[in-house]
Chains A and B, each alone.
Chain A
Amino acid sequence: MHEISLMYSILTIVKGSAKENQMTRISKIKLVVGTGLFIMPDSLLFAFHQLKDELFDRDAVLELEERAGRDFYIDFIEGE
C-alpha cells in the first residue's frame, strides 16, 4: 500500500508550493501517473481523501491522468 506514502509526499509538496504562492485554499491537484509504475489510482484517491487537511476544500479534487511509461509528477494545483 505504498500509495499512502506516495500521497503523503504529494501533499507535502503541494503544501510547500501553496505556501510559496500565498494560497490558503486548494481545490484541485492534477497528477500524471505512468502506468509502468503499477500505482493503483483508486488507492491514491483513497489516500488523498484520508490525508487531506484543512488546507483543502471539502470537495477538493484529485485529477489523475494515466499515461504509458513511468512519469509520476504533480502537473498543477488550483486554489485561492
Chain B
Amino acid sequence: MKRISLKHSVLQGNQKIAEQNRQIFNHYSITSINFMSSPGAGKTTFLESLLLNMNAPEKIGVIEGDIATTLDAERIAACGARVVQINTHGACHLNADMISKVLHHFNLSQLDYLFIENVGNLVCPIEFDLGESLRVTILSTTEGTDKVAKYPAAFQCSDAIILNKMDLLPYLNFDLNHFYSSVKNFNPYASIFEVSACKREGIAQWTKWLQTKRREKEQKD
C-alpha cells in the first residue's frame, strides 16, 4: 500500500484550456462575454436586442449553450450574427473545451465580440472559466430579489449584472432597493443595468458600457 500526495486542482484541466482560449481571443482582439442566468431570465432575448442595437453584426459571433435543441441559435441567426449552437446533452454548464472545439466555425479575424450564452443555471457554470474577458449575470424581476443571496457566487464573480424584465416591475412584488443593497453587499464593483430586453429598453446604456470595457482593454494591451 502506498500513498501519493497530489494536491492537484480538479479544475486545472479546464483552466489550462480556458487560458488557451483567452490567448486566442487576445490575439484576435476579441472581447468575449460569458452570459449566465437561470433558465427563462431572458438571456436570448437580451442578445437579440443587443444584436439589433449594435452596428455591424458580422463582427459579432455568438455561441449558444443549451442542453438540447437549436431554438436559441435560430433566433440569434435571424439577427444577422454568426452563431454556433453547443448542445451539452445533459451537462448543466459549458466548459472551456466545448468553446475551444467550436472556435473554428468563426472567422476570428473578423470578430470584435464573442457572446457566449451559457446553459441556464445559476450554480454550475460559475466554476468553469471559458477564457472569457467579461462575465455578466442576468437576473429578471420575476425571479425575486432573494436570488442574489441564494446564489451569491454568480453575482460575486460578475463584471456586470443586468436586471431584466423591468417592464413587469409595476406588477411584481420586487423591491429594487433591496436588490441593489443585496448586490452591493456581495459585489460592490459590479455595474448594474436595468433593462427590458423585449421592449429594447436600457440596451443602449449597456452597449455603451461594453464598448468602454473593450476600449479600456485595447488601451491596456
Residues of A within 8 A of B (CB): 1-2, 4-6, 9-10, 12-13, 17, 21, 23, 27, 31, 36-38, 72-80
Interface residues on B, range: 20 to 34
- Residues in B1-27 with C-beta less than 8 Å from chain A: 1-14
Shortest distance in angstroms between B153's beta carbon and chain A's nearest beta carbon?
7
B153 touches A36 (CB 8 A): yes
A9 touches B13 (CB 8 A): yes
- Jot down 23 A-B pairs with beta carbons below 8 A, ordered by A: A1-B92, A2-B124, A2-B127, A2-B128, A4-B91, A9-B11, A9-B13, A13-B6, A13-B8, A13-B12, A27-B1, A36-B153, A37-B127, A73-B10, A74-B10, A75-B5, A76-B5, A77-B3, A77-B4, A77-B6, A78-B1, A78-B3, A80-B2
A74 to B10, CA, bound (A): 7
Residue of B nearest to A25 (CB): B1
Asked if B93 lies at the interface with its beta carbon under 8 angstroms from chain A, I say yes
- Residues in B96-138 with C-beta less than 8 Å from chain A: 123-124, 127-128
A76 to B6, CA, bound (A): 5
Asked if B34 lies at the interface with its beta carbon under 8 angstroms from chain A, I say no
Among the listed A2, A38, A78, A80, which residue makes an inter-chain contact with B92, where contact means beta carbons less than 8 Å apart?
A2
- Residues in B54-105 with C-beta less than 8 Å from chain A: 90-93, 95
Among the listed B4, B13, B91, which residue makes an inter-chain contact with A21, where contact means beta carbons less than 8 Å apart?
B4
B6 touches A79 (CB 8 A): no
A79 to B4, CA, bound (A): 9
Residue of A nearest to B127 (CB): A37
B6 touches A73 (CB 8 A): yes
Chief secondary structure at chain B's binding surface: mixed
Further contacts, 11 of them, CB under 8 A, given A72-B127, A75-B7, A76-B3 = A1-B124, A4-B91, A13-B6, A13-B10, A17-B4, A37-B153, A73-B10, A75-B5, A76-B6, A77-B6, A80-B2
Shortest distance in angstroms between B137's beta carbon and chain A's nearest beta carbon?
15
Shortest distance in angstroms between B157's beta carbon and chain A's nearest beta carbon?
10
Q: Mark B25-52, 1 if CB is under 8 A from A, else 0.
A: 0000000000000000000000000000
A38 touches B2 (CB 8 A): no
B10 touches A72 (CB 8 A): yes
A79 touches B2 (CB 8 A): yes
Shortest distance in angstroms between A47's beta carbon and chain B's nearest beta carbon?
12
Residue of B nearest to A26 (CB): B4
Residue of A nearest to B12 (CB): A13
A75 to B7, CA, bound (A): 5
Contacts of A38 in B (CB 8 A): 123, 153
